[in-house]
Amino acid sequence: MGVTAAERSSVPVALVLADWARSIDGKSIPERVIKFASSQIASQIAAARATMTLPVGRKIVRAFGLPVQEDPKSAAYVLAALTMAADFDDTMYAGHVSHSTISVPLAYAATFQADGRTLLPAVVAANECAARITAAATLGPFRGQTAAHTHLAGSVAARMFLEQADAYLWASAWGIAFAAPPWTLDHPFFSGESKALLASTQVRAGLDACDAALGGLDGIIDIFEHPGGFLARYASVPLPEVISYGLGSLWHTETLSIKIYPGCAYIDSAVDCAVAIHHRLTLLDHTIEPAAIDKIVVESSAFTAGMDAKSAPYIDGPRTPLSALGFSVGYNVAVALTRGTLETADLAPESTSDPSVWELARKVHVKHDASLTWSALQATAPLGEALKQAGSAAIPWLMEMAGKMGDGANREMGDSTKKDVAGKMPSGGGTTENASGKPPGKMELAGIPASSSFGPPATSFQDATKRIGARVTVRFTDGHVEQEYRESAIGAIGPETRQSHEELARDKLLNTGVSSDDVSALLQMESLGAKDIQRLLRRLLQPA
């Protein structure tokens, strides 16, 4: 339909986004962005393969079939469930978009006889739509995997791109899909195994919405910005303008962070530290037995400390649900420190029943470090760019979040005494006064300076960052102390990941038993024909 920049202010943002996304192709997408999409595909296939080795993965396959099957809607459902269940999925700004933006293009590849030059732009188009719509609501109650509405956006965009549908049909499908968006409940999210289907149900709903729109049903096309629409109900600080901001110059796909460990991304830097300490202690021939360790202190941002506190009621030794296990700083740091790695096998019952790991996990204490919170908030992901977009409108929401951080994150987790932060700075020491000589407010207690300024919105994501840092200190009973610090995790977007994302994705997939030839072919998908892609996917998406 060709929406000009001058017309965009009066056109529903869904139409603007769809009009742009449907028109992109390999020529209009920068090569660096295409390479990120290629790595994203490899990483998500690795996540699905790894999950199929776990009991939860076998249950998913028994219930719904393999991730390659004749019905593409069912195939997409299975793929999304497998990549969600073990928390081995990737992230970008904003959201865990890959459950829909990768699963749907791969599932529909045979239906549309898509070659690599079609599939990769389909992934990018879906990423850009899902990430932008998620970012518009990220200053609200749902982020990360709990933001399941992400997959209504991603599944519609991926399918409509492959259908070569016009912008109105895209927007209409979003209008139908977002008429009844999900509301994630914490209790079932952390307990049981229903979390595995959280993305899948929205993928299927999005694909049903596509069928409805293609069949002639009308959805409202101002679904995102209308006072009675999605953002007004889902976002504390609605940001409808980010949905169409920087189209063609601000590529969310290149904010991709690749997980090298299963579990929440907020634990990754602490696990990196524990792995490094393990290898150093091994070289020193120093014992890592629980009896030899007095205490392990993990200093972290409020993101990590708050997440650990939220999952704590569900941590019950070997009986801990898989959905909660990936959020436990204690368990995952204990595994990494003991074994020198953290793999999907460490989530299997034979590993989670190891009493020595749980004995060590009980010695892990999580403490909030205000400087790490501030560093995390200044990065692009998970919230920094939204705070820049919102400006002063974000302050009330940030103050509310800071209050919750002060009540929950600024405590020592994993310790039954759990000292309150009253009268203490979040880092555990120092004066109770700020630079003005007055007691700190809620924002300062959470690590956010009272006069916060996040700067202007980005005009490019070529220098995007995600800094969820950690400092791990291991104190031994013999007086020996080991300490390690990471500003951000391996695989988190930043200068190093921009250089190594393909290598990280390659290693992740190779570790699931895929041949090096198939990995190389997948990472060069752009040159593959439709039949070659179908044969490759059939090999890759079988149980290991």
The DSSP result for 345-362, as a single string, is GGGSHHHHT-HHHHHHHT
pLDDT band per the 50, 70, 90 thresholds, residue 347: very high
Residue range 272-283, pLDDT digits in tens = 999 999 999 999
pLDDT at 421 over 80: no
Residue 454: which pLDDT band, with cuts at 50, 70 and 90?
A: confident
- For residue 252, pLDDT over 80 is answered with yes
Average pLDDT over residues 137-142: 94
Please measure the distance between the N-terminal and C-terminal CA atoms of the chain and give it in whole angstroms. Answer: 46
Q: How confident is the model at residue 403 (pLDDT cuts 50, 70, 90)?
A: low
pLDDT in tens, 507-516: 999 999 999 9
| Per-residue confidence band for 172, with pLDDT thresholds at 50, 70 and 90 | very high
**261-450+460-490: what CATH class?**
alpha beta
- Tokens representing residue 336 in the block: 């990494």
Residue 477 has a pLDDT of 96
User: What's the distance, CA 193 to chain centroid?
Assistant: 19
For the stretch 88-103, pLDDT in tens is 999 999 999 999 999 9
| pLDDT band with cut points at 50, 70 and 90 for residue 424 | very low
Contact 150, 100 (CB under 8 A): yes
pLDDT above 70 (res 394): yes
Eight-state DSSP code of residue 366: E
- DSSP run (H or E) holding 97: none
Cis peptide before 382 (omega within 30 of 0): yes
pLDDT digits over 181-192, tens only?
Answer: 999 999 999 999
Question: Residue 414: is its pLDDT beyond 80?
Answer: no
Q: Identify the band that residue 433 occupies on the pLDDT scale cut at 50, 70 and 90.
A: very low
Work out the average pLDDT over 339-368: 96
183 vs 185: CA distance, rounded Å = 7
Q: Which H/E stretch holds residue 392?
A: none
Q: Does domain 13-236+514-540 have CATH number 1.10.3190.10?
A: no
Cα–chain center distance at 456:
24
Instruction: Give the span between the Cα atoms of 411 and 414, in whole angstroms.
Output: 9
Residue 295 DSSP SS3? strand
% residues pLDDT > 70 (the chain): 89
Read out DSSP for 220-281?
Answer: -TTTTTSTTSHHHHH-SS--GGGGSTTTTT--GGGG-B--SSSS-GGGHHHHHHHHHHHHHH
Average pLDDT along the chain: 90
pLDDT band at 423 (very low <50, low <70, confident <90, very high): very low
pLDDT greater than 50 at residue 406: no
pLDDT at position 114: 97
Domains of the chain by residue range: 13-236+514-540, 261-450+460-490
In the predicted structure, residue 6 carries a pLDDT above the cut 50: no
The strand order across the sheet containing 470-476 reads 364-368, 293-300, 470-476, 481-486
**Residues 39-78 pLDDT 10s:** 999 999 999 999 999 999 999 999 999 999 999 999 999 9
- Per-residue exposure over 128-163, b if at least 16 CB sit within 10 Å of its own CB, e if not: bbbbbbbbbbbbbebbbbbbbbbbbbbbbbbbbbbb
For residue 174, pLDDT over 60 is answered with yes
Other beta carbons less than 10 A from residue 249's beta carbon: 12
With a CB cutoff of 8 Å and minimum separation 6, the contacts of 325 are 263, 315, 331, 332, 347, 352
Query: What is the reported pLDDT for 399?
Result: 78
Among 271, 448, 265, 264, which residue's Cα sits nearest to residue 373? 448
Count other Cβ atoms within 10 Å, centred on residue 56.
22
pLDDT, tens digit, 9 for 90 and up, residues 296-316: 999 999 999 999 999 999 999
Of 112-126, 255-269, 387-401, least confident by mean pLDDT is: 387-401
Task: Tell me which H or E stretch contains 173.
Answer: helix 167-177
The per-residue pLDDT for 432 is 25
